[in-house]
A = this chain, B = another copy of it.
């Protein structure tokens, strides 16, 4: 369906029909969208679940990202939380609210982007809700299976600290976009629709990771959550981080910013950070970047890193 109509013109029920047609199914889905609740199977009688809410103007901008990219990123943020428990997402429910003058085609592209990101892990959208609102709001809850859920609180003194995925690229893209640039494309694209390392979470759990978190507020801030929950300190080796060319390019274009700042404080790549016993061979895709110490807080080469302490709402 290609339509230049607004969602107010087609109405709620036609919009729901359109969304449902765009969804698929999977073996986990016993009862899918269209009833009071969905009915979903689990592999072992337990599930992991996480939720995220995205608000237009705060988490995404329609003039910076396509609807499909916004849909991909909204789903990625939730799949990443399941990934960070060492789990694999199987099902999602999506609530969507928007002003009535929103084009129907925008919603269709949003849903297409959501479905595309779901296929990265084989998950299915199994239900949702819609409402009118002054801003576009996307609220997603993801469910998954995790054989051995990895929390933030198990890091031990002497453990290796490692990451998987990319760091700093999305933040560099945001930095470029916020100053009116549309390049480097690889960075701008990563900000618009990140590529979380979906294989790395279950691999880390299988390898015995002691703690794990996804990097959404920035590596220093998120490792700070691990250090606090585990009652340990974490020291990072600044030489251990790969720095992508696009990150260097943006850092230079912004007047000589230290590119490591993007790597250590940038969110939105949905990388993973985890701790592993000292003797563990890190799984594929993981890079060692530090060590767990006695104490508290996160340091870089033994000293505090001056910079953004991570994103905060209402401040």
Contacts and interface: CB of A to CB of B under 8 A. Distances in A.
Interface string A82-118: 1011010001011111001000000000000000000
A230 to B, nearest CB: 12
B141 A36 contact: no
Contact of A135 (B100, B134, B152): B134
Given A45-B44, A85-B35, A312-B11, A50 B134 contact: no
Contact of A133 (B55, B84, B213): B55
B141 A137 contact: no
Nearest to A57: B134
Interface string A1-17: 00000011001100000
B36 A84 contact: yes
Contact of A52 (B80, B87, B129, B137): B129
A38 B50 contact: yes
Contact of A42 (B34, B46, B152): B46
Given A53-B137, A146-B39, A45 B48 contact: no
Nearest to A81: B36
Contact of A45 (B45, B85, B130, B141): B45
Contacts of A127: 49-51
Contacts of A153: 35
29 contacts: A11-B313, A12-B312, A31-B151, A34-B229, A35-B85, A35-B229, A36-B80, A36-B84, A37-B48, A37-B82, A37-B146, A38-B48, A39-B85, A40-B49, A44-B45, A45-B45, A47-B47, A50-B127, A51-B93, A51-B95, A51-B127, A53-B129, A53-B131, A53-B139, A55-B132, A58-B131, A93-B141, A131-B313, A141-B141
